[in-house]
Each structure stands twice: as structure tokens, then as C-alpha cells.
């Protein structure tokens, strides 16, 4: 109906434009036809598309009068004096109005048919006295029963599904726990150091992947452990070799240190002792004397020295040679060392001169030590021949002053003994002569 309306509206607009521009003076014989046709078409157009009155019987006569319009349109198309477009327009109007007329009669017939069916249905309902409410109640009851049945079936299905889920969950949990416990036991043994353990084949893809991962981890740990043990063995061997080398180096170092200490002691001894006699050398005996003088000053204890010189020592060297002179020096030094106390010291002062230092001794003790030395010298035998070796000595006790003054005093007393005939001891005034 909408397509028909659009089609008719388009043609009616064209027709209206054409009729407005129609020249009546040129075509006087068509004047009445054109204007009547225009008026009637406009009225029919408005009536046809009035929805409220489309099927009203009040317009039946107007629809019947459409035939008159169709005849005028047909006459319009046969006027050869009109332009061709007006003739074509008349033909199209004729066709459209015939179709419009035919459709409207079909609509009226359809309306009448519906009215007849409505009257028939009302008559049937009243004649048979059907209880519509009872029918509806029956239908409602049937539908309710079907709903209840469906609901019960749904509940039963739901319960079965829940039970099935529990059963599946139980067996699935049991399966998962069994496999998981097996994996846990194996991983615990691997973590304890059993790297050769492997996870057996499992049907489940997920557990199979996990088992493969654990097996790869165990294999990696096993290879790493083997490599570490090999490295450890190599390292232990290297450490052992290095330890042996280090022990040898330490032994050599200890020997070197020992030799160094011995050399140090030897050098110290050489620095402190006389190389020929083994007694304190001049420097060492002077240092010892200096210490004893300081002790005497601080604690007021006696210090006595004796400067001794071998008599006629040059004659021995000239007569028997320097070897004989060295022998005399050595033997006298041995007698000197063995005759004094541990607290006393003796040193080679120079050439054939010797310096004795006696500490903490009385005059009588000092004299006794000196006489013991003189007696031992007299009985010595020498390889170069029988001869008598004597010494001259000067003895003095410290009073004050420096060590140089103290030694000078003893040295003066020794020369005094030589002037008196040698082979004797001269004491200072503080010591009584024996």
C-alpha cells in the first residue's frame, strides 16, 4: 500500500503541474474535461488515503463515480490535438485509477468477509454454550502440571549432576593425591641426595610434564654433583701437591732461618768476642764495665778491675813464632775463664793485655781469685817447649769518675808492677796487698 501511495503521489504531482500550465485557449475542446478531471482526481486522492474512512460505505458512491473519471481520462488520451505528454498522462491516469478501483473493491470485500466470520463465531459460541473460563482453567491446569513435571525432572537432573560431580571430584582428588604423593616422595629423596631417583611414567599429561621436569632437574643435579665431585677431587689433589710444595718450602725456610740465626749468633759473637781467645773483645768488656759502674753508683756495691799483661810476650813471638804466641794467648784465656766466677768477666783488651771485672766482691775474695789465676798460669805446658809464662797486673776499686779514668788507674798500676820486676800484682791504696 505504501509503494502504491508513493507511486500515485508522484503521478498526481506531475498531473497537477501539467494541468496548471495547460493552455485552455489553444485547446478549447478539452477545457471542460481537464478541469473536471482535476477536481475529481484531487478529491479521490484525499478520500483514498484517509485511513479512518478508507473502508467506510459512505464513500461507495464516490468509488463508483471513479468510472466516470476513467472515461474522461480515456477521452483525454485519444485527443490527437493535445501534446503527446498529455496523451501519455491520460493513459497513465486510466491505468492507475483502474488499479486503484480494483484494490479498493478487494479491501471492501475483505472487510465484509471478516464481518461474516465474526458473526458466525458469535453465533457458534452462543449456540453451543461453551464455558470459556472452564476451558482456560483446564489449559492452566495442564500447563501447571507440565511445569511441575519439568521442574521435578530438572531437580532430579540437578541432583544427579551434583552427585556425579562429587563422585568425579572424589576419584579425581584420589588420583591427584596419589600422583602428587608419589612426586613428593621422589622429590624428597632427590633433595636428600639420591640424584639417581626418577619419576615413573604417568598417564596424565599434566603430571607427565611435571614428572619430566623433575627428572630433568634430577639429571641436572646428578651431572652437577659429578662435576663438583670431580672438581673437588682435582682440587684436593692440587691442594695436596701445593701442601707438599709448601711444606718443602717451609722446611727450606726453617733451615734458612736456622742458618740465619746461627749466622746471626756467630756475627754477634764475633762482634762481642775475640776471635782468637773466645773472650769478650775490647768493646764488649768496656760495655760490661760501663753497666757495672752504673750499678755501683745506683746500689753502692763494689766494682774491682784488674789490668793484666803477659811478661815478655814479644820475646816469645820472636823466639818461637806467632803461632806459639797464639797458643800462649789461648791457654791463658782458658785459665782466665775457668778461674773466675760466673758473675765476673774477662776480656782481651788488646794484644797481650786482658781486663778483668769483678762485681760485688770483697777485697779478700778479689785477691783470692787473682792468686788462683797466677798459680794456674805457672803450671801450664806449651807445645813449643818448656817455658815459664808470667803476667804483671794492676788492681784498683772504683770510687768515682768515668770508666776511662778507672781503666787508666788500673793500667798505671800494671806498669808499676812491670817496673818492679814483673810477675807480680800491684793494688791501689784502697786494697791491701797480700
What is the side-by-side order of every strand in the sheet holding 303-310?
Answer: 345-350, 353-359, 303-310, 391-397, 425-427
Kindly provide the residue ranges of all beta strands, DSSP E only, lying in 216-373, ordered along the sequence. 303-310, 345-350, 353-359
DSSP percent split of the chain into helix, strand, coil, nearest 5: 70, 10, 20
Kindly provide the residue ranges of all beta strands, DSSP E only, lying in 212-336, ordered along the sequence. 303-310
Q: Which residues pair with 306 in a beta bridge?
A: 356, 395
Residue 352 bears catalytic tag: yes
125-150 core/surface letters (b: 16 or more CB in 10 A; e: else) = eeeeeeeeeeeeeeeeeeeeeeeeee
**Distance, CA of 163 to CA of 158 (rounded, Å):** 9
Q: Closest Cα to residue 327, out of 267, 389, 265?
A: 389
- Among residues 29, 133, 352, 419, the one annotated as catalytic is 352
What DSSP state is assigned to residue 201? Answer: P
31-36-41-47 Cα dihedral, nearest 10 degrees: 160
* CA atoms in the 13 A half-sphere facing the CB of 347: 20
Catalytic positions, please? 352
Amino acid at each position: 500500500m505504501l509503494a502504491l501511495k508513493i507511486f500515485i503521489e508522484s503521478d498526481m504531482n506531475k498531473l497537477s503541474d501539467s494541468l496548471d500550465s495547460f493552455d485552455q485557449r489553444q485547446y478549447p475542446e478539452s477545457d471542460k474535461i481537464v478541469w473536471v478531471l482535476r477536481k475529481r482526481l484531487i478529491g479521490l486522492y484525499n478520500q483514498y488515503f484517509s485511513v479512518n474512512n478508507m473502508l467506510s460505505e459512505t464513500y461507495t458512491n464516490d468509488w463508483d463515480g471513479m468510472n466516470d473519471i476513467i472515461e474522461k481520462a480515456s477521452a483525454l488520451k485519444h485527443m490527437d490535438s493535445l501534446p503527446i505528454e498529455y496523451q501519455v498522462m491520460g493513459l497513465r491516469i486510466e491505468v492507475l485509477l483502474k488499479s486503484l478501483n480494483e484494490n479498493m473493491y478487494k479491501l471492501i470485500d475483505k472487510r465484509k468477509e471478516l464481518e461474516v466470520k465474526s458473526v458466525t463465531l458469535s453465533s457458534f459460541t452462543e449456540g453451543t454454550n461453551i464455558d470459556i473460563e472452564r476451558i482456560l482453567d483446564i489449559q492452566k491446569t495442564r500447563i501447571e502440571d507440565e511445569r511441575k513435571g519439568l521442574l521435578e525432572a530438572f531437580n532430579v537432573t540437578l541432583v544427579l549432576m551434583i552427585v556425579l560431580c562429587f563422585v568425579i571430584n572424589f576419584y579425581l582428588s584420589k588420583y591427584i593425591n596419589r600422583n602428587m604423593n608419589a612426586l613428593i616422595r621422589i622429590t624428597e629423596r632427590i633433595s636428600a641426595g639420591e640424584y639417581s631417583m626418577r619419576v615413573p611414567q604417568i598417564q596424565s599429561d599434566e603430571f607427565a610434564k611435571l614428572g619430566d621436569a623433575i627428572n630433568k632437574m634430577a639429571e641436572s643435579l646428578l651431572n652437577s654433583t659429578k662435576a663438583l665431585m670431580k672438581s673437588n677431587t682435582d682440587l684436593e689433589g692440587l691442594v695436596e701437591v701445593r701442601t707438599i710444595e709448601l711444606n718443602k718450602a717451609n722446611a727450606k725456610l726453617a733451615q734458612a732461618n736456622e742458618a740465619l740465626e746461627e749466622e746471626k749468633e756467630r756475627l754477634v759473637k764475633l762482634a762481642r768476642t775475640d776471635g782468637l781467645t773466645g773472650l769478650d773483645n775490647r768493646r764488649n768488656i768496656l760495655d760490661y764495665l760501663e753497666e757495672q759502674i752504673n750499678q755501683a753508683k745506683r746500689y753502692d756495691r763494689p766494682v774491682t778491675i784488674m789490668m793484666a799483661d803477659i811478661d815478655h810476650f814479644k820475646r816469645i813471638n820472636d823466639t818461637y813464632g806467632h803461632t806459639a804466641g797464639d797458643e800462649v794467648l789461648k791457654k791463658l784465656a782458658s785459665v782466665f775463664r775457668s778461674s773466675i766466677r760466673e758473675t765476673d768477666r774477662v776480656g782481651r783488651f788488646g794484644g797481650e793485655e786482658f781486663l778483668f771485672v769483678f762485681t760485688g766482691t770483697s777485697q779478700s775474695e778479689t785477691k783470692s781469685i787473682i792468686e788462683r789465676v797466677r798459680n794456674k798460669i805457672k803450671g801450664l805446658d806449651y807445645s813449643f817447649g818448656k817455658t815459664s809464662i808470667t803476667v804483671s797486673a794492676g788492681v784498683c776499686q772504683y770510687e768515682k769518675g768515668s770508666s776511662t779514668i778507672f781503666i787508666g788507674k788500673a793500667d798505671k798500676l800494671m806498669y808499676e808492677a812491670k817496673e818492679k820486676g814483673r810477675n807480680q800484682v800491684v793494688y791501689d791504696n784502697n786494697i791491701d796487698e797480700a
